Amino acid sequence: MEASLLGGFMVSACLFGILYEHPTSPVHIAIASAGLRRALMGLSMGITAVLLIYSPFGKRSGAHFNPSVTLTFLQLGKIAQWDAAFYMLFQFLGGVAGVLVVALSFPQQISHPAVNYVATVPGASGVAIAVVAEAAISFALMATVLRVSGSKWKRFTGLFAGALVAMYIALEAPISGMSMNPARTFGSAIFSHAWHAAWIYFVAPPVGMLLASRVSRPRDICAKLIHHSHHRCIHCGANGGHAS
- Cα separation, 117 vs 15, in Å, equals 10
- Is residue 135 packed enough to be buried (19+ CB in 10 Å), middle (13-18) or exposed (0-12)? buried
**Residue 86 maps to which CATH number?**
1.20.1080.10
**What is the average per-residue pLDDT within 92-98?**
98
- Does 15 score more than 50 pLDDT? yes
The region of weakest confidence among 56-60, 188-192, 225-229 is: 225-229
Q: Roughly what angle, to the nearest 10 degrees, separates helices 81-105 and 2-21?
A: 30
- Does 243 score more than 70 pLDDT? no
What residues make up the domain containing 213? 2-242
**Is there a contact between 46 and 169 (Cβ–Cβ < 8 Å)?**
yes
**Is there a contact between 222 and 60 (Cβ–Cβ < 8 Å)?**
no
- Does 91 score more than 70 pLDDT? yes
pLDDT digits (tens, 9 = 90+) for 124-174: 999 999 999 999 999 999 999 999 988 889 899 999 999 999 999 999 999
- Cα separation, 77 vs 92, in Å, equals 22
pTM for the full predicted model: 0.93
Number of domains in the chain: 1
**How much of the chain, in percent, has pLDDT values that exceed 70?**
96
User: What is the reported pLDDT for 229?
Assistant: 59
- Does 8 score more than 90 pLDDT? yes
**Is there a contact between 3 and 93 (Cβ–Cβ < 8 Å)?**
yes
Nearest to 167 by CA among 157, 176, 156, 178: 178
Sign of CA dihedral 166, 30, 22, 198: negative
User: What is the reported pLDDT for 228?
Assistant: 67
- Cα separation, 143 vs 156, in Å, equals 15
Distances (CA, A) of 57 to 6, 67, 77, 114: 11, 17, 22, 32
User: What is the reported pLDDT for 242?
Assistant: 42
Buried b (16+ CB within 10 A) or exposed e, 3-42: bbbbbbbbbbbbbbbbbbbbeebeebeeeeeeeebbbbbb
